[in-house]
A and B are shown apart, each in its own frame.
Chain A
Amino acid sequence: MESKLICISCPRGCELLVQTDERTGAFISVEGNACIRGSSFAEAEVNHPERMMTSVVSIRGAKHCMLPVISRRPLPKGKLAEAVRAMRSITVEAPVKEGDVIAEDIAGTGIDVIAARSL
């Protein structure tokens, strides 16, 4: 089966034409990518789509009341909404350094969420 995707690896946004197995839906091949990142994106997007999670958590004792956070690696796409929801109940105390772990093993993915800035 043929489907169209847009690569999100960089701002160029290559339009990818992906061939997948009619029966299993598994990735077969890709055209339209300008670089190697496009082919790994296409394969991941078909077999196990992933997205980075970015959100904010509450922080006490800092000049702002919210601290930006980011997942250390991309999460399975289906876990994204749950992970963002989980951020809402977290409150940390200042000071926080960029890179500090804010939440471990988010939404059962085994992936940690870290502070995106120092506050």
Chain B
Amino acid sequence: MKVIETDIAVIGAGPAGLAAALEASRLGKHVTLIERSDDLGGILQQCIHDGFGLVRFKKQLSGPQYAERFIEELKASDVSLLLDTTVLSIENKVIRAVSPREGVLEIRPGAIVLAMGCRERTRSQVEIYGTRPSGVMTAGTVQRYINLEGYLPGRRAVILGSGDIGMIMARRMHLEGIEVLGVYELMPEVGGLARNVYQCLIDYDIPLHLSTTVKEVFGNERLEGVRVVKVDENRRPIEGTEEDIACDLLVLSVGLIPENELSRKAGVLISPITQGPVLDESMMTSVPGIFAAGNVSIVFDLVDYVSDSAEAAARGAVRYLDGQAPSAEPLDVIAGENVASLLPTQYRVDYVGDELSFYLRVRKMESNVRVALRQGKRVIKSKKQLVVRPAEMVTLTLSREDLTLIEPVTPLEIHIET
């Protein structure tokens, strides 16, 4: 069995893994980047629509264009690449992987950055009754069929869920000649960004039905239709509002979950708030020397922030290797009023990095609020925000000076204050 020694192993070569590998390499470490497929860039390669990179590059790039910038830099770097290599387990910071060319590999790094991304929720994770025909698939699968494999997976489509990928695929399917009958959303408000309602649905007269869900599917071999139903404010179906729609494709855009099967095997604690690992300010998990980057830690809405979080994780891993990792007992960061999800959930007062961003998602829409980080009665940092929505991540960035206000005593809390 081949054994590889390296400073930092990065698992996953999507946007997070690419950014983490490059940052650690820039800081002088030997990096081994491990990727399951034979391609770099992860999901970006099938996200052919534009809108990526506005924060980082001040440009609206398509997914492949965003990835290309990192891939070009990677090719010029001395990062070692293991493509077509699937990680099976992480035990005591030793990585077991397998590839068709090398067989079983053992990688022994000084530190690990987890960058496996997230996965789509599937039919089995939402309640839909009925048969199990072909033609029921996630929006990402439809995207892969059309954009990577050049294959149209249906003729008449219904979309369940109004997440961004669902709306983007509504437009894409329409432009490729698939009849898109409508987008159905269980919640009373849209799941994705307002601009996608405008440029993906309104532009093509694709109807959006809020507080409506797909209850049942029909068809044996192939999907023949779905039954939709309106729901009340408690999301219970309203009897008598059922409607049957003939279609051969049901596209699911019903949420994303951080992918942490490997993280669990490695023994890292998973946060019930983010469904990703419990992380401190340096993106370090509960296992010293194992870090997390990008959507494996919390589902971001912009790839630009995925890259930022990955660079932060890489810097954390480099400090850890250099024996400069913060070692103070971590303070908890508590998700307060109207905060549904939060990163990081721990902070160590001897953190030495420059600035620090907190990322959060709200439970419900509110207007004219303050986003406030508090310690006891003291406000460490706050900012005004015109509106907060569940679909849009909120960031609160603290400067080095702001961070010196934090004392090693009581937990921190983040609230949305009206």
Enumerate chain A interface residues (CB-CB to B < 8 A): 5-8, 10-13, 15, 51-52, 54-56, 58, 63-66, 68-70, 77, 80-81, 84, 98, 116-118
Contacts and interface: CB of A to CB of B under 8 A. Distances in A.
B203 A51 contact: yes
B216 interface: no
Interface string B35-76: 000110100010011110010000010111101100100000
Given A6-B198, A117-B45, A56 B203 contact: no
B65 A55 contact: no
Contact of B65 (A5, A6, A15, A116): A116
B175 A63 contact: no
Nearest to B177: A85
A11 B193 contact: yes
Contacts of B49: 54
Contacts of A6: 194-195, 197-198
Contact of A70 (B50, B148, B175, B197): B50
Given A66-B148, A80-B175, A98-B65, A56 B48 contact: yes
Contact of B148 (A13, A51, A64, A80): A64
A15 B194 contact: yes
A8 B67 CA distance: 22
A65 B49 CA distance: 18
Given A52-B50, A66-B148, A13 B67 contact: no
Contacts of A52: 50, 60
Contacts of B197: 6
Interface of B: 38-39, 41, 45, 48-51, 54, 60, 62-65, 67-68, 71, 146-150, 175-176, 193-195, 197-199, 203, 301-302, 392
A78 B148 CA distance: 26
10 contacts: A8-B199, A10-B195, A11-B301, A11-B392, A15-B194, A54-B49, A56-B48, A68-B48, A68-B62, A116-B63
A72 B263 CA distance: 41
Contacts of A58: 150
A7 B301 CA distance: 18
A117 B65 contact: yes
Contacts of A10: 54, 195
Contacts of A81: 175
A118 B40 CA distance: 11
B59 to A, nearest CB: 11
A11 B63 CA distance: 15
A10 B56 CA distance: 12
B165 to A, nearest CB: 14
Contacts of B60: 52
B195 A116 contact: no
B195 A8 contact: yes
Given A11-B302, A70-B62, 8 more contacts: A8-B199, A10-B195, A13-B193, A56-B150, A66-B148, A70-B48, A98-B64, A117-B45
A52 B39 CA distance: 26
Contacts of B302: 11
A52 B68 CA distance: 19
A63 B54 contact: no
Contact of B195 (A13, A68, A70): A13
A5 B64 contact: no
A11 B54 contact: yes
Contacts of B175: 55, 80-81, 84
- Most chain B Cβ neighbours within 10 Å, of A7, A15, A64, A80: A64
Given A52-B60, A68-B62, A98 B51 contact: no
Contacts of A77: 203
Nearest to B392: A11
B195 A55 contact: no
